[in-house]
């Protein structure tokens, strides 16, 4: 069996785990992300947790196949440099690869942005198994995308391929956090769904949703919208249909350009299921060439809570 250490670096939590090349996760240790803690300190703590797991499992460091790191981008996967993730304000030009190689000498270290890493995990262990051309898109706080093309992860010229969430869908639409207007992320992400619901509350609509948010419209989240839609609330169902329409337009663009055989959708698509997948699929029928759509299946992600651990492991 080949052992692999995986590190997941996120804006709210970080984790170290021990897994295998077969997709097992044997142990993990999690820490809360302190936005004021220096990156070198966070990496040091994660390394100590990883080494503790190895000791507890009687796995010598020298026997590791490698160490994979999944982190929010932008980053440089070739050099192992974390550049400036928006949710990690102190992580600016952090030489994570060099730091980790000092802690784990002679061990292969691979670093990828979290969307690419999760794409690899779903491709190797999850909903994308057996495909050659697959796209994975998150539908959470943002919309990230990882692309497996011709059986390989596609990076682009300088590691910026896959920014599908920042394609312009609606000219003069809502402002995205990237500064552009009408991005897919500003129309179909979790915060976008919450904003759409809040903006549509006039004329007495959305009472069930407001009640779900404790009577405070400003507290409405995408989670509340999904919960109310599952309970049959017509207002919340329409909000998901609108978000699904825009997501369908974005996916249609990707299908027309890349001709994938499968698109795997994470986060909200997993929790909402057909409430958002059906509007996406219906939109694809309207905006995508039939021959391209015929060979492309749109499915929810399969790895669930294991996704972030397996994302780091899949890099090795």
d(CA 245, CA 216): 27
- Other C-beta atoms lying within 10 Å of the C-beta of residue 141: 18
Predicted local distance difference test score (pLDDT) of residue 159: 87
Predicted local distance difference test score (pLDDT) of residue 53: 97
Q: Which of 313, 314, 283, 315 is nearest to 50 (CA)?
A: 313
Look up residue 51 and give its two tokens.
């080494």
Q: Which of 182, 266, 186, 190 is nearest to 223 (CA)?
A: 190
Q: Which of 38, 65, 14, 60 is nearest to 314 (CA)?
A: 65
Query: Hey, CA dihedral for 268, 270, 274, 280, is it positive or negative?
Result: positive
Burial code (b: 16+ CB inside 10 Å, e: under 16) for 145-157 equals: bbbbeeeebbbee
At residue 216's C-alpha, the angle toward residues 211 and 220, to 5°, is 80
d(CA 5, CA 28): 10
Axis-axis angle for helices 190-199, 222-230 (nearest 10): 70
| Architecture of the domain delimited by 3-124+306-314 | 2-Layer Sandwich (3.30)
- Other C-beta atoms lying within 10 Å of the C-beta of residue 205: 14
List Cα–Cα distances, 89 to 96, 97, 195, 223, 313, in angstroms.
15, 19, 24, 26, 25
Sites in the chain below the pLDDT cut of 70:
none
Q: Does this chain's domain 3-124+306-314 share its CATH topology with 130-300?
A: yes
Q: What is the CATH number of domain 130-300?
A: 3.30.420.40
- Other C-beta atoms lying within 10 Å of the C-beta of residue 221: 15
DSSP H helices, 139-263, are 185-188, 190-199, 207-212, 222-230, 234-258
Predicted local distance difference test score (pLDDT) of residue 94: 95
Using one digit for the tens of pLDDT, what is the confidence trace for 3-36?
A: 999 999 988 899 999 999 999 999 999 999 888 9
Say if CB 129 and CB 123 are below 8 A apart: yes
Say if CB 111 and CB 64 are below 8 A apart: no
Predicted local distance difference test score (pLDDT) of residue 46: 96
Predicted local distance difference test score (pLDDT) of residue 177: 87
Query: Structural domain boundaries of the chain?
Result: 3-124+306-314, 130-300
Using one digit for the tens of pLDDT, what is the confidence trace for 66-96?
A: 999 999 888 999 999 999 888 788 999 999 9
């Amino acid at each position: 069996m080949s052992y692999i250490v995986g590190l997941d670096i996120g804006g709210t939590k970080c984790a170290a785990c021990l897994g295998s090349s077969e997709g097992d996760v044997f142990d993990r240790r999690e820490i809360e992300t302190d936005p004021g803690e220096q990156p070198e300190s966070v990496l040091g703590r994660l390394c100590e947790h990883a080494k503790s797991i190895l000791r507890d499992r009687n796995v010598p460091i020298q026997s590791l196949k490698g160490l994979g790191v999944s982190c929010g981008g932008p980053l440089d996967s070739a050099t192992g440099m974390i550049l400036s993730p928006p949710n990690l304000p102190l992580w600016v030009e952090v030489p994570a690869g060099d730091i980790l190689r000092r802690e784990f000498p002679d061990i292969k270290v691979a670093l990828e942005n979290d969307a690419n890493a999760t794409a690899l995990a779903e491709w190797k262990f999850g909903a994308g198994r057996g495909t050659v051309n697959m796209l994975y898109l998150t539908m959470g706080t943002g919309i990230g995308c990882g692309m497996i093309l011709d059986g390989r992860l596609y990076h682009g010229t300088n590691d910026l391929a896959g920014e599908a969430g920042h394609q312009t869908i609606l000219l003069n639409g809502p402002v995205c956090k990237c500064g552009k207007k009408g991005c897919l992320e500003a129309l179909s992400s979790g915060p976008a769904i919450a904003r759409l619901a809040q903006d549509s509350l006039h004329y007495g609509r959305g009472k069930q949703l407001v009640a779900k948010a404790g009577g405070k419209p400003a507290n409405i989240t995408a989670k509340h919208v999904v919960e109310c839609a599952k309970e049959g609330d017509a207002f919340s169902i329409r909000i998901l249909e609108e978000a699904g329409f825009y997501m369908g337009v974005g996916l249609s663009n990707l299908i027309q350009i890349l001709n994938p055989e499968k698109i795997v959708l994470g986060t909200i698509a997993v929790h909402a299921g057909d409430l958002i997948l059906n509007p996406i699929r219906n939109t694809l029928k309207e905006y995508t060439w039939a021959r391209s759509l015929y060979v492309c299946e749109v499915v929810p992600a399969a790895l669930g809570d294991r996704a972030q651990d397996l994302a780091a492991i899949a890099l090795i």
